[in-house]
Structure 1
Amino acid sequence: AVARLKARGVLVNAVDRPELCDFTLPAIVDRNPVLVAIGTGGISAGLAAALRQKLETMLPATLGETALALHAARPAIRERWPDMADRRRAIGAALASLEGDVVARVLTGGAGAPQVLRIALVSPDPDELTLRQARALAAAERVYHRADVPPAILDRARADAVRICGALPADPGPGLTIDLEMVR
């Protein structure tokens, strides 16, 4: 059947037979207008599907709205940051977290208003963090923690986040600060 179709000039995609394929179809994460495609060249559709499922949980449902808001704010962002390098840095800093008002963070210089999130850990296993907790750790500028918080949990924080073993001060500074403690 494949040979007949190819002889007629029809492009062929044969499931689980990459050597017969003229094209493959990636797994898609759709956060319109943002699209993420995961392809394996036809080698493993199951792997592509598993990666898609992981990305679906990592990317907020509001990602498309964030993209549209950034597009609509382009003139204001250019006015606030006329130098391209400064603009790129401000946008990069603001996108460290996809939560909240990204455009406001770009226009205020990336860090935004101080925000503190207290996380009471009920398990030392980082795989038991909620999705919201994991996202917050990945976005925080600073992580205050008690001595009993396991390193495996702290490893979920952003690589450049400041990690401080001690109590949260009255004024932790601008941007997102996490206060971690184990609850036993």
Structure 2
Amino acid sequence: MIAHLPLFHRIAGQPVIVLGTGDIAEARRRLVERAGGEVIGDAAQGIDRGARLAFVAHADEADARADTLRLRHAGILVNTADRPELCDFIVPAILDRAPVLLAIGTGGASAGLAKALRLRLEALLPSSLGRLAEVLAGARAALRARWPDAGDRRRALDAALGQGGALDPLDPASAGRLDGWLAGGPDGTRDAMVEIVLASTDPEDLTLRQARLLGSADCIAHEPRVPAAILDRARADAARVPIAPGETPPLRAGLVIVLRS
């Protein structure tokens, strides 16, 4: 079970309350401004303006609790610096490849760990990643024309965006290959059934290929002893079909993964 539901809030042009002084408060103000929000430094004014988010960064414990409760009673979601027990939401470490954003959170356990992970990922993800997202957005009509069926379209994109694929996100040249791929790339629409026999109930024991297949499958057929931790590695919208041990499910359209415990 995840402790927080990750969400991206659109705050451009919207009032956001930021209370407090010092480095943390200033960092929160910069974060709000970076996302296009309007910083409001007074709680009453922010409430009157209809603010939906607030950051509280008081050093004093009593002040922090008082302002947090006041804002929460007004229906505002609050982040209270250095006091995770008072937070309605957390501030993740952000890796910016706009319009691609990666948010790394630890549930308030360690901001240092989130930062370390962000720095590692910074070295892996090319600056061209945002450009790839932009050309994909601009090619929506062309993608629908090439693959009118949504399942065929998703499978084609999964293949192209996979490691070594024509549009591999870690390849800086991928954005420039989109037109050529659309004109003659593989369609990736073949129906298939792949059986995976689990080595253990630990999702960390999945091979890279198994994890990739789970993440792209249209349907997961699984025996009763397959744990939820494994099933959670599949796409959230993939169909799930319980099967008896040894049973072979009927082939469905798209990619079907059969998980054996």
Task: Give the alignment's TM-score, normalised by structure 2.
Answer: 0.39
Which residue matches 1:5?
67
Residue 103 of structure 2 aligns to a residue whose secondary structure is: strand
Say whether the 8 Å CA contact 1:91–1:110 is kept in structure 2: no
Q: 1:47 to 1:102 in 2, by over 3 A?
A: farther
Aligned counterparts of 1:22 and 1:89: Cα–Cα separation in 2:
37
Residue 81 of structure 2 aligns to a residue whose secondary structure is: coil
Q: Please, which moves more after superposition, 17-26 or 61-70?
A: 17-26
Amino acid at match of 1:6: T
Amino acid at match of 1:2: A
Which residue matches 1:136?
none
Aligned counterparts of 2:110 and 2:182: Cα–Cα separation in 1:
39
Q: 1:53 to 1:106 in 2, by over 3 A?
A: farther
Which residue matches 1:79?
145
Q: Which has the higher contact order (CA 8 A, sep 6+)?
A: 1
Q: Please point out which of 94, 100, 109 is paired with 2:185.
A: 109
Which residue matches 1:14?
81
Once the two structures are superposed, what CA deviation does each residue of 1:149-176 show, in whole Å capped at 9, x if it has no partner?
A: xxxxxxxxx749xxxxxxxxxxxxxxxx
Aligned counterparts of 2:79 and 2:156: Cα–Cα separation in 1:
46
Aligned counterparts of 1:13 and 1:102: Cα–Cα separation in 2:
45
Residue 22 of structure 1 aligns to a residue whose secondary structure is: coil
Measure how far apart 1:110 and its partner are.
4.5
Measure how far apart 1:71 and its partner are.
1.0
Measure how far apart 1:23 and its partner are.
2.7
Amino acid at match of 2:185: G
Measure how far apart 1:21 and its partner are.
2.8
What is the alpha-carbon root mean square deviation over aligned residues?
2.4
Percent identity (aligned) = 50
Task: Give the alignment's TM-score, normalised by structure 1.
Answer: 0.53
